[in-house]
Amino acid sequence: MTDVLRRGRASLAFSFFAQGVAFALLVTRIPAIQDRYGVSDALLPAFLAAVPVLAGAGSVGTEKLVKKVPPSQVLRWSQPVVLLGLLGVGAGEHMAVLALSLAAFGLAVGALDASMNMLGVSLQRAYGRSIMLGFHAVYSLGGIVGASLAWVGAHWDLALFVSYLPVVIVLLPAAFAGSRWYVDGGGPEDVADQSVGESGPVVFKLLLPLCLVMCFAYIGDSTVSNWSAKYLQDVLGSSEQLATVPYNVYMVTTLLGRAIGDFGVRRFGAVAVVRAGSLVAALGFAVVAGAPGAWVGMLGFTLLGLGLCVIVPQTFAAAGRLFPGASDTAVARLNIFNYVGFLIGSPLVGALGDAWSYRGAMLVPMVLVLVTLVYARSFDPQPDRYGGGHERPRTADVGRGSNGI
C-alpha cells in the first residue's frame, strides 16, 4: 500500500509540473499571442481577465462534479484539455479560435487546479505529514522550465505553434499515462460523516479566513508577476534587461522556499511557518517600496518569493484539515479565491500607482499580507498535528486509487 502512495505522489507531482510549464508558456508569450491575433491593447485585458474568471467557474463546477466522480478522473481529463487549449492558442489565426482556446484553457485550469489540490490534500492526510509544499515546489519548477522554453521560442523567433507543439507532445501522453496511479482518498477521515461542513453557509463561514488569506496571497503574487519589471525600470531606474530579473529571482526563491518548506512545517508547525512567511513577505514589500535603487529592489522581490511561497500550499492543507469529511468541497471553494486575488491584484496596484505612487501602491499588498497574521490560528493542525513529535501514524487504507486499487 506504501507503493500505492509513492506512485500516487510521484504521478501527482508530475501533474503539478506539467501545469506549471503550460501556464508559464501561456502567460510569458502574451505579447506574441497579441501580435499573432491582432488583439488591441484595449481588448487585451478582457482576454486576460476571461481566463481566471472561467477558471473560477471551472473550480465551482469541479465542486459539484466530484460528488459523482472521483477527483482523479477530473484531473485525468482536464489536464489534456489544458495542454490542447495551449496548443490551440498557438495554432489558430482568427480571433474566434483564440477565444475558444482560452475558454477551454480557463475552464480546464479551474478543474485541474481544484482536483490537483484535492488529491494533494488527501495524500498529505494519508502520509500523516506535510507534503503539500513539495507539490507546489514542483509547480514552481515547471513554471521556471516553461518560462525558459518561452524565452528560447522568443529568442529564436519561433512561431507559437512550433514552440508549443513539442511541449504538448511530451507532456500530454506522460501526464495521461501517469494518471493511472492517482490516489483518491487519504484515510479513514474520508469516509467520515460527509455532512460535516457540507452546507454552504457553514462551510463559507468557517472557510472565510482561509479564503481571505488565499486572496491576499495571490494579490501579492500578481503584484510581482505583473508589476516587478515596470517598477524596477520606471521607479528604480534599472535597465530594460535588469528589469526582467526580479520575476525570475522570485520564481527561483519560490521554488527553494517550497522545496524546504515541508521540513519547516514538520519541525515548527504550520502556524509558525505561515506567520514567518507573512512577515518575510511584508518585509519584502516594505523593502521594494523604500528601495533607493534597483539592486535593493531585487532584494525585496527575493524576500517576497521566500515569504509568499509557503502561504498558498498551507492554505489548501488547512482547508483539508478543517473539513476532513468534506475536504474536496472545501478545496474547490477555496481555489476560487486564487483567481479572485489574481483578478484584483494587478488592477489594484495599477490604479493606486496612477492615482498616488507606485511606491505607495506596494504598501497595500504589504498590509494585506500582514492580515494573514490575524488568521494564523486557522492553520493550526489540531487535532491532527503534523511534525514535531505529533505526526499521526501512517494511514494504511488510502481509499480507492484511480487504477482501481
DSSP track, 379-390: G--TTS--STT-
Is the CB of residue 173 less than 8 Å from the CB of residue 52?
no
255-275 pLDDT, tens digit per residue, is: 999 999 999 999 999 999 999
More confident residue, 331 or 28: 331
Q: How confident is the model at residue 243 (pLDDT cuts 50, 70, 90)?
A: confident
Backbone angles phi, psi at 39, to 5 degrees: -75, 125
Is the CB of residue 305 less than 8 Å from the CB of residue 251?
yes
Number of domains in the chain: 2
Cell numbers at residue 58, please?
Answer: 471551472
333-382 pLDDT, tens digit per residue, is: 999 999 999 999 989 999 999 999 999 999 999 999 999 999 999 998 76
DSSP per-residue codes, 193-257: -TTTTTSHHHHHHHHHHHHHHHHHHHHHHHHHHHHHHHIIIIIS---HHHHTHHHHHHHHHHHHH
Which residue type sits at 65?
Answer: L
Where is the domain boundary, 141, 157, 186?
Answer: 186
SS3 324: coil
**182 with 259, same domain?**
no
CA distance readout (Å), 321 to 86, 189, 217, 375, 400:
34, 10, 20, 15, 20
Instruction: Please state, rounded to an integer, the average pLDDT across all residues of the chain.
Output: 88
**141 with 223, same domain?**
no
Average pLDDT over residues 122-142: 95
**Residue 262 covered by a domain:** yes
**62 with 91, same domain?**
yes
2: domain CATH number?
1.20.1250.20
SS3 70: coil
More confident residue, 213 or 248: 213
**131 with 201, same domain?**
no
pLDDT score of 233 more than 80 = yes
**159 with 204, same domain?**
no
**Residue 1 covered by a domain:** yes
Q: How confident is the model at residue 388 (pLDDT cuts 50, 70, 90)?
A: very low
Report how far residue 220's alpha carbon sits from residue 201's, in angstroms, rounded to the nearest whole number. 28
Please enumerate in sequence order all residues whose Cβ is within 8 A of that of 268, keeping only pairs 6 or more positions apart, or say none: 387, 388
273-308 pLDDT, tens digit per residue, is: 999 999 999 999 999 999 999 999 999 999 999 999
**182 with 201, same domain?**
no
**131 with 280, same domain?**
no
Backbone angles phi, psi at 192, to 5 degrees: -70, 180
Can you give the residue range of the structural domain that contains 338?
Answer: 196-388
